């Protein structure tokens, strides 16, 4: 079917089950499968290297569907290496370690609102389960909104902004503040400019902003929701992690970026295991060979895992499938952070790829680990939590887990693959460890 038509992939993509189908196809047909007349998916760590760390390969034309106008290219969808490298170089200083450290104080402010909100809920509705997907979505958008624009969105506190687009207001406010405003991403916009047309320019900013906001918030809320889901179902891991956090830090305020936090090995392993089992970008990141000006270079074939790839073929590795490949991750559907700490972890680390690799790999990786570690450590310092009934009255199971027989693994945090993953729950009941009370700012 896949040999004849792209309908095969499109059908499963529309069902948000393409990652599950891809894994099943690899299990049935081996480490390289066809997913369309012109599409090959690989399932080995060596293919990761062959494809994503290959100078002669770029993003596939499939990414052009995200273009806002024919000549408008963003960091995410520029296939041309020169445009992409220029944008990436300019964004580099904004998302590097120093900039992330400088932004940490703002992160704490938003995380503290999150903690206060949970404390308030513990006090006012102690037995009502909290939908963590929703809470983490507001938290991560608040953090990323401030990072990108230096403009507080306050979704956690203020419901008005949750349901209407304020992107234009944010852009105008940020541009009006000029180049010397405290955080500087949009000071870069003029240098990021590709088009001379003013309307096009606004569109470029808008598309970069939308991309960054979503790249740095959807992914984070998926990972946090998944991790809390797994912790709520794996008592041993929950105990080990809480013991690590509560023994390392004497107060919530002492939880800051730096050596103490990065020494929390079990915390890092838990984050990685959640990223492995329910990767926020779960699908196949399609790539293809660059069309070279030099015909001789173009004629030389790209080789992946020993297969010669015809020019123009879309190729890629499916992150979800690779993360559940038993060769690298034995007992792949079990949440086992220890696999990243034990002897022989090298094998797992080689195939662990939630942030992708090479020239198009994630730019926010450092920031992601800092933010994830701070949120998890602070929540576990303040609270104990248990599973609650979800909106359908079940014990925190996904509403759609039985969908077409694809989601029968109830101990897996289900993601709905639409490039970035949609998700819901877990529903958890929190208890303040120290009988603290929230400031009542939000309910």
Annotated binding site for heme: 362
**Burial (Cβ within 10 Å: 0-12, 13-18, ≥19) of residue 137:** buried
H or E element that contains 417: strand 416-418
Binding residue for ligand HEM (CB under 6 A) from 113, 141, 367, 380?
367
Per-residue CA distances from 315 to 286, 320, 379, 438 (Å): 6, 16, 41, 51
In the bound state with ligand HEM, the residue whose beta carbon lies nearer, of 219 and 318, is: 219
Minimum distance between the CB of residue 391 and ligand HEM, rounded to whole angstroms?
Answer: 26
**Encoded tokens for 178:** 């000029």
Residue by residue, DSSP assigns 133-171 as HHHHHHHHHHHHHHHHHS----TTT-GGGGSS--HHHHH
Site string for ligand HEM, 162-201 (x = CB under 6 A): ----------------------------------------
Tell me the residue number closest to ligand HEM, measured at CB: 364
Distance CA 200, CA 73 (A): 10
In the complex, the smallest distance separating the C-beta of residue 140 from ligand HEM, rounded to whole angstroms, is: 8
The burial of 97, by beta-carbon neighbours within 10 Å (0-12 exposed, 13-18 middle, 19 or more buried), is given as exposed
> Looking at 285, 302, 309, 321, which residue binds ligand HEM (CB under 6 A)?
285
Of the pair 365, 394, the CB lying nearest ligand HEM is at 365
Query: Which three-class secondary structure state does DSSP give residue 16?
Result: coil
Query: Which x/- pattern, by CB under 6 A, does the window 54-93 give for ligand HEM?
Result: ---------------------xx-----------x-----
When asked if residue 368 is in the footprint of ligand HEM (CB under 6 A), the reply is yes
Q: How far is the CB of 348 from ligand HEM (least distance, A)?
A: 17
Q: Which residues of 33-52 are buried (b: 16+ CB within 10 A; e: fewer)?
A: bbbbeebbbbbbbebbbbbb
Q: Which stretch binds ligand HEM (CB under 6 A): 36-44, 213-221, 225-233, 431-439?
A: 213-221
Q: Which of 281, 309, 374, 415 binds ligand HEM (CB under 6 A)?
A: 281
Contact residues: ligand HEM, CB under 6 A: 75-76, 88, 95, 215-216, 219-220, 223, 280-281, 285, 354-356, 360, 362-364, 367-368
């Amino acid at each position: 079917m896949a040999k004849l038509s792209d309908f095969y992939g499109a059908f499963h993509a529309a069902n948000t089950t393409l990652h599950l189908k891809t894994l099943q196809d690899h299990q049935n047909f081996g480490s390289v499968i066809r997913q369309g007349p012109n599409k090959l998916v690989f399932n080995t760590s060596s293919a990761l290297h062959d494809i994503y760390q290959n100078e002669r390969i770029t993003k596939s034309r499939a990414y052009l569907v995200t273009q806002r106008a024919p000549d408008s290219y963003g960091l995410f969808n520029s296939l041309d290496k020169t445009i992409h490298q220029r944008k990436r170089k300019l964004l580099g200083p904004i998302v590097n370690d120093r900039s992330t450290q400088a932004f940490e104080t703002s992160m704490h402010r938003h995380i503290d609102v999150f903690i206060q909100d949970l404390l308030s809920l513990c006090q006012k509705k102690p037995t009502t389960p909290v939908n963590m997907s929703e809470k983490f979505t507001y938290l991560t958008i608040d953090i990323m909104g401030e990072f990108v624009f230096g403009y507080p969105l306050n979704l956690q506190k203020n419901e008005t902004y949750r349901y209407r687009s304020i992107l234009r207001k944010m852009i105008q406010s940020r541009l009006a503040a000029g180049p010397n405003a405290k955080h500087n991403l949009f000071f870069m916009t003029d240098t990021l400019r590709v088009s001379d047309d003013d309307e096009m320019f606004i569109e470029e900013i808008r598309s970069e902003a939308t991309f960054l906001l979503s790249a740095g918030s959807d992914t984070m809320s998926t990972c946090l929701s998944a991790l809390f889901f797994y912790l709520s179902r794996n008592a041993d891991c929950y105990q080990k992690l809480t013991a690590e956090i509560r023994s390392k830090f004497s107060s919530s305020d002492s939880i800051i970026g730096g050596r103490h936090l990065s020494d929390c090995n079990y915390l890092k392993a838990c984050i990685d295991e959640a990223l492995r089992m329910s990767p926020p970008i779960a699908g196949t990141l399609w790539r293809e060979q660059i069309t070279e000006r030099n015909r001789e270079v173009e004629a030389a074939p790209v080789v992946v895992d020993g297969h010669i790839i015809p020019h123009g073929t879309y190729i890629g590795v499916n992150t979800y499938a690779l993360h559940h490949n038993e060769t690298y991750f034995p007992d792949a559907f079990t949440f086992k952070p220890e696999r990243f700490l034990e002897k022989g972890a090298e094998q797992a680390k080689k195939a662990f790829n939630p942030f992708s690799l090479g020239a198009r790999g994630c730019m926010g990786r450092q920031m992601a680990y800092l933010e994830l570690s701070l949120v998890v450590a602070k929540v576990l310092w303040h609270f104990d939590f248990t599973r609650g009934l979800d909106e359908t009255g079940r014990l925190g199971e996904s509403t759609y887990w039985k969908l077409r027989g694809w989601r029968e693994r109830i101990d897996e945090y289900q993601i709905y693959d639409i490039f970035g993953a949609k998700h819901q729950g877990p529903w958890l009941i929190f208890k303040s460890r120290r009988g603290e009370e929230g400031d009542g700012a939000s309910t």
